[in-house]
Amino acid sequence: MAKKRTDDEEPANPRRLAEMLRVGPGFDLATVETSATPGFLAGRAAGETALAAGAQTLFGLQERLFAAGFTGAGNDRLLLVIQGMDTSGKGGIVRHVVGSVDPQGVRHTAFKAPTAQELAHDFLWRVRPRVPGPGLIGVFDRSHYEDVLIVRVHDLVPRAEWEQRYDAINAFEAELAGQGTTMVKVMLHISPAEQLRRLEKRLYRPDKYWKYATSDLDEHAFWDGYQEAYQAALTRCSTSSAPWYVVPADKKWYARWAVQSLLIGALAQVDPQWPAAGFDVDRERARLAALLATRTR
């Protein structure tokens, strides 16, 4: 007799998963288990199968979002913000989750250390031009949150200045939400030991050397400071219109499935529709039939 499956063994649906991962009142980052797989207890193989199936669902939702934006019928757009410590798998989310949708509809930005020109402006100056337009999925690999993370940890600006940024971010994101942007902000959460194991891999594979920098280990020493800065950003900037989700990410397959599922849930809530014809369908069919008769005669 087959083992009876319990409810807990069924993957959570996107809405339920969002509730499980969402940063709400009383959230404490230190209590989140980085190697857990909440909402998906069936293991890696099943997770990879679910990811492949979800890719179709996400592709279909994105196509409708894009179509609505393209014709002007819809004003919705989606912004995925990906944050996490070095090696937490941000690039893998781009490749394995974002990579399954139509590149035409994706606007990807990897934010690096700001240039001299960018530093001469307000911290949101370089971010605003990169927000997605109607129908598009914007992807921020790192984001304006670095301005309250690395900046806070290393005191790159005075405390009085970074302290103001939480409110500035909330105002900015509320503005985006008001324009029709659905935000999905994810922090990929790994343990310090897992980070070291991933850095180790990069040091023993010549095809991974390019991903390694000596500053990675220097930064590792600031782990606790980063966790504190994340705790502040997550709790101060998780709003109803722009919630934060903390995704346990020691298991890459889980993090990918979870982020995909959050995106599917967000787009399902937007529920973009195929635009109605902006022309007289019967008339165009008749015009076309007449031409086709000539061309294929």
Q: Which residue has the tokens 């944050």?
A: 83
Two structure tokens written together for 94 = 């781009």
Query: Of 17-25, 96-104, 119-127, 230-238, which part binds its own copies (CB under 8 A)?
Result: 96-104
Output the CA angle 186-189-194, nearest 5 degrees: 150
Q: Is 119 or 288 the residue whose CB approaches its own copies more closely?
A: 288
- Interface pattern 265-284 for its own copies (x via CB under 8 A): ---------xxxxxx-x--x
Tell whether residue 247 is a contact of its own copies (CB under 8 A).
Answer: no
Instruction: Choose between 39 and 135: whose C-beta lies nearer to its own copies.
Output: 135
CB 220 within 8 A of CB 278: no
Nearer to its own copies, 56 or 164 (CB): 56
Helix (H) or strand (E) run with residue 249 in it: none
70 residue type, one letter:
F
Binding mask 138-177 for its own copies (x = CB under 8 A): -x-x------------------------------------
Our CB check for its own copies shows the closer of 68 and 78 to be 68
The distance of Cα 144 from the centroid of its chain, to the nearest Å, equals 14
Task: Return phi, psi of residue 237, to 5°.
Answer: -120, 25
Q: How far is the CB of 37 from its own copies (least distance, A)?
A: 21
Q: Which C-beta is closer to its own copies: that of 211 or that of 236?
A: 211
Residue-wise DSSP of 119-158: HTS-TTTTTGGGS--TT-EEEEES-GGGGGTHHHHTTSS-
Instruction: Find, among 231, 230, 225, 86, the residue nearest to 153 by Cα.
Output: 225
Residues that bind its own copies (CB under 8 A): 67-68, 70-71, 73, 91, 94-95, 98-99, 102-104, 106, 108, 110, 139, 141, 192-193, 196-197, 199-200, 203-204, 206-207, 209-214, 217, 220, 274-279, 281, 284-285, 287-288, 291-292, 295-296
